[in-house]
Amino acid sequence: MKKIVILGAGESGVGSAILAKKTGCQVFVSDKGSIKQNYISELEHYGIAYEQGHHSTDVILGADEVIKSPGIPDTAPLIVALRKQGTPVISEIEFAARHSHATFLCVTGSNGKTTTTSLLYHILDSAGLDVGLGGNIGKSLARQVALHDRQYYVLELSSFQLDGMYQFRAHIAILLNITPDHLDRYDHNFMNYARAKMRITQNQTAEDYFIYWADDPVIRQMLAEHPCSATAMPFDDKHSYADFDIAKTMTLQGRHNLYNATAAVIAALKTGIGQDKIKSALATFQAIEHRLEPVTTINGVRFVNDSKATNVDSCYYALESMTTPVVLILGGKDKGNDYTQIDNLIHQKVHTLVFMGINNEPLRQHFAGCGINIIDTDNIADAVSKAYHAARTGDTVLLSPCCASFDLFSSYEDRGRQFKQQVSQLT
């Protein structure tokens, strides 16, 4: 009986445990932190051994194969030890795909993954296809394969997930863009991160499709160095492969969302869905929470929650879509950001910057002397209140932080929800 050890007991890990158990493996789940009660109940229901609060190194090193959470870095001592002794360490996606005959439509990129994945799923689901949504969003792929396998899966894949994928094959791969992000996990080497993103094309054949934004210089460079075997389908402002105007059909706002929608439309076309059904789905798709999400308008001041903007590139697209003067809330855990990318847009559209974080020094250093009103805060309540009082009728208060959330919040979702809560208290 094959011994499978799963490191991390979140949605990905518990889903993997259920699938491994159902496929006849001996399963052990280990989480260095605490396991949520609902997951403990599931593990016990399926008779799966587990531990929390520590790792039993001897047991883990005795595994035939290890499935690790994407949040565990490859540099973790336990992972290094496993690989040194030759034990395969894979991702949940790699493991789950072995046990499914589905068609996989996969989306990655530094920005726009969740919106594109959700929109593509919405199109396929609206067209009546038997489709599941997974990867970095929704229920884990492994759980779905174990309990109710589908004919199609639309998967959002992060670079961390792609790092643990070796034999997995994306039948349709979408790469939206590659800009600096998560460099702390890649030895602060941008090309290491770029190569991780390009792993979405590995194992593709001429029967598969690779959809990518043609104007991304990094993607072009990577393709020149590592040609892809799939049928290439580059898109830009003028080439969408559709016979209708996507921009006039979609409900989403902003040029970046036009790119996201175009990628989703091309993928949907390649699954054989008719253009009328695609147009209908585009017209009914709603914006995703924390991604340029309209919150409310108070005394003529509009509030927009773009908490998912955890890097500078995301903030760039948010600012680009603004049509009114902006009070911009920035800050959080700085990942070595280069803010020069948004300098011009800030000078064009922003009259007040509100810094929100435990350490605002990198922001202060960059924007010192920029001639724009700057307000320093260290909590969400002050940031929202001061942003509101700095705004004028007709302005937009935009939370688009450029930074990770982990200095003051548990996640970007937590940050976005607290922002909305504070905005609601202004009335």
Rounded to 10 deg, the angle between the 113-126 and 255-270 helix axes is 40
- What is residue 47's three-state secondary structure? coil
The pLDDT score that the predictor gives to residue 288 is: 87
The pLDDT score that the predictor gives to residue 356 is: 98
Q: Per-residue DSSP letters for 253-319?
A: -SHHHHHHHHHHHHHHHHTT--HHHHHHHHHHPPPPTTSSEEEEEETTEEEEE-TT--SHHHHHHHH
H or E segment at 334? none
CA-to-CA separations, 128 to 15, 131, 289, in angstroms, rounded: 26, 8, 25
Task: Check if the beta carbon of residue 50 is closer than 8 Å to that of residue 43.
Answer: yes
The pLDDT score that the predictor gives to residue 335 is: 78
CA-to-CA separations, 224 to 163, 193, 198, 303, in angstroms, rounded: 21, 17, 12, 43
Q: What's the rounded Cα separation, in Å, for the pair 135 and 363?
A: 33
Q: What's the rounded Cα separation, in Å, for the pair 7 and 282?
A: 39
Cβ partners under 8 Å of residue 379, min gap 6: 356, 408
Task: Check if the beta carbon of residue 92 is closer than 8 Å to that of residue 162.
Answer: no
The pLDDT score that the predictor gives to residue 181 is: 72
Q: Domains of the chain by range and CATH?
A: 3-90 (3.40.50.720), 94-284 (3.40.1190.10), 293-425 (3.90.190.20)
Q: What's the rounded Cα separation, in Å, for the pair 399 and 408?
A: 14
Cβ partners under 8 Å of residue 43, min gap 6: 9, 14, 17, 29, 35, 50
Q: What's the rounded Cα separation, in Å, for the pair 281 and 267?
A: 14
The pLDDT score that the predictor gives to residue 180 is: 78
The CB density around residue 304, as the number of other CB atoms within 10 Å, is 22
Specify which residues 135 forms β-bridges with. 156
- What is residue 410's three-state secondary structure? coil
Residue 357 tokens read as 């974080």
Cβ partners under 8 Å of residue 276, min gap 6: none
Residue 332 tokens read as 């959080």
Q: What's the rounded Cα separation, in Å, for the pair 304 and 290?
A: 9
The pLDDT score that the predictor gives to residue 334 is: 87
Residue 393 tokens read as 């009728």
Q: What's the rounded Cα separation, in Å, for the pair 397 and 392?
A: 10
Taking the chain (427 residues) in consecutive chunks of 10 residues, what is each chunk's mean pLDDT?
Answer: 97 98 98 96 98 97 97 93 98 97 97 94 98 95 98 96 95 94 75 92 98 96 93 92 93 89 98 98 92 95 96 93 97 90 96 97 94 96 98 98 94 97 95
Distance of CA 230 to the CA centre of its chain: 24
